[in-house]
Chain A
């Protein structure tokens, strides 16, 4: 198999959410001395884009996205040390969490998995995160983007409080709020820079914000 064929096969296995098969091919790619940046861009990131396209076209659903994200992450675990050795720049640093009062994290987990799988450094604070913790961690980590994801309508007020405290704390990072309960109006109310209604849109929004910098 030539390099392009290996990368295509790896990409296909990621898209199908076949972690074992993807691992097989990422090792083949490394053994064939393919540049790890090419592996990341041509197989993993293109794979993520393909998965997103299938989701947007109603061919894929949450379960398919999660399995593909798992495969991406397994591959990233293999090439990350090589990329680090080569001083590959992280795609961006994202601090993310579910606000205080909410424990739902399905969308957030998908965002974390998809971002990590595409070379982002993601610090997941978990669920039920008080505003103070967001501020403290944002000061420590200095993220490019802060993601606040929730499911409950009642968490809109907690998202607002978190954004206010982050800004009062001098945090300049762009803030993305996510969840099916949100809208353009609620994003404005909360004071966030952007919003996303689901995990895939969250990933796209974060990448767009990073590219805008």
Chain B
């Protein structure tokens, strides 16, 4: 049966808005370049240099996964933004390309010195061909599926790419310099947002990669200082709904929902399902995408039945009344068996139809 994207769009919107008119729990996986290469059989270069090929491979992958969402993975505040800064600052040599996965920037190489930060040029995304290709691929997928795309932004994920481990020393030794870098990254993200708006249109939802919001990285106060304040500014400017992604093991989801107006959180930790039950009670307006389905656990080392059981646990505890989407975190890695991956949509079909079983 062909994939019904119209139904997927309805499902996602109903879930995010908490509407009672839902047929089933939606599926929101993150398919990175690696799995798109794996499923399409194409190299990353073949994809990134042809928006049509990339768009088609992405649709093929998400349809294969029986997903209810769709996104061009390269178009986010990660390696592609590092590449934009590398190009704008004549440092393309720090980018390392690979065949079946995304390119990467040598961490910290673009802003090695204080002078690098002070003189850092903010990229003009309309002149970066890779971003142009990404947005063309986004337009292609939208035209073909009618699935509304979302702009993906972030601050700390880019700061880490540019400054590397030194950013953490700056936090204590030179906070003003670090804030200067964060500000430049923010300006760059706004340039990207404007370019996106011009090429793709207004993005009602922003998928925000908030890597700072994790205890392993920094205190919550520092996370608000170096990333949170920029999210507030971004919201004021764009009026967009924010989905906050954090794939770390000790995220500040509860704290951030008390401080910022978020539409959804996307993560897989803490692993204790009771945390998520309490989270839902405390933040009833925030959609949970993921909860405790972690790719490095059942998906990697379990059986399809283990995966089904994990999905069932999440649905049973969290899907009542909507505001919950199944989503393994983070990207589905190369080594995971397809049987395990496909156990997720199978479990959703089995347990995720409304009205829910056991309700």
Contact = CB atoms under 8 A, between A and B. Distances in A.
B and A form one assembly: yes
B112 interface: no
Given A153-B330, A153-B331, A186-B297, A67 B164 contact: no
B260 interface: no
Nearest to B35: A154
Given A103-B96, A105-B107, A154-B34, A63 B330 contact: no
Interface in B27-60: 32, 34
Contacts of A180: 214, 216, 247-249
A47 interface: no
Contact of A61 (B98, B107, B215, B331): B215
Contacts of B106: 103, 127
A9 interface: no
A9 B217 CA distance: 28
A61 B335 contact: no
B296 A186 contact: yes
B254 to A, nearest CB: 14
Contact of B335 (A17, A66, A160): A160
A110 B168 CA distance: 11
Nearest to A153: B333
B215 A185 contact: no
A186 B332 CA distance: 14
B268 to A, nearest CB: 10
B334 A188 contact: no
A156 interface: yes
Of the listed residues A70, A155, A181, A182, the one surrounded by the most CB atoms of chain B closer than 10 A to its CB is: A181
Given A63-B172, A181-B330, A105 B105 contact: no
Interface in B200-227: 214-219, 222
Contacts of A70: 169
Contact of A183 (B165, B168, B297, B333): B297
A121 interface: no
A197 B301 contact: no
B172 A64 contact: yes
Of the listed residues A66, A102, A160, the one surrounded by the most CB atoms of chain B closer than 10 A to its CB is: A66
Interface in A151-202: 152-157, 160, 180-183, 185-186, 188-189, 197-198
Nearest to A65: B168
B171 interface: yes
A81 interface: no
Contact of A154 (B101, B173, B214): B101
A5 interface: no
B298 interface: yes
A128 interface: yes
Interface string A50-77: 0000000010011110110010000000
B300 A103 contact: no
Contacts of B107: 103-106, 127
B96 A183 contact: no
Contacts of A156: 296, 300, 333, 335
A181 B101 CA distance: 18
A109 interface: yes
Given A61-B217, A157-B333, A183-B296, A101 B98 contact: yes
Given A154-B32, A154-B101, A198 B216 contact: yes
A185 B293 CA distance: 13
A91 B160 CA distance: 32
B101 A157 contact: no
B102 to A, nearest CB: 9
Nearest to B34: A154
B164 to A, nearest CB: 7
B163 to A, nearest CB: 11
Interface in A85-106: 101-106
Contact of B104 (A103, A110, A185): A103
A63 B96 contact: no
A62 B301 contact: no
Nearest to A126: B106
B333 A185 contact: no
Contacts of B168: 62-63, 66, 106
B308 interface: no
A18 to B, nearest CB: 11
Contacts of B105: 103
Given A102-B104, A186-B300, 14 more contacts: A61-B215, A61-B218, A67-B169, A67-B172, A67-B173, A103-B106, A105-B107, A128-B104, A152-B333, A156-B335, A181-B295, A183-B296, A186-B301, A198-B249
27 contacts: A17-B172, A62-B217, A63-B168, A63-B171, A63-B222, A67-B173, A102-B104, A103-B104, A103-B105, A106-B164, A127-B106, A128-B104, A152-B331, A153-B332, A153-B333, A154-B32, A154-B34, A155-B333, A157-B335, A181-B296, A185-B296, A185-B297, A185-B300, A186-B300, A189-B300, A189-B301, A189-B335
Pairs A-B, 9 closest by C-beta atoms: A157-B335, A185-B301, A153-B333, A63-B168, A63-B171, A186-B296, A189-B301, A154-B333, A103-B104
Interface of B: 32, 34, 96, 98, 101, 104-107, 160, 164-165, 168-169, 171-173, 214-219, 222, 247-249, 294-298, 300-302, 330-335
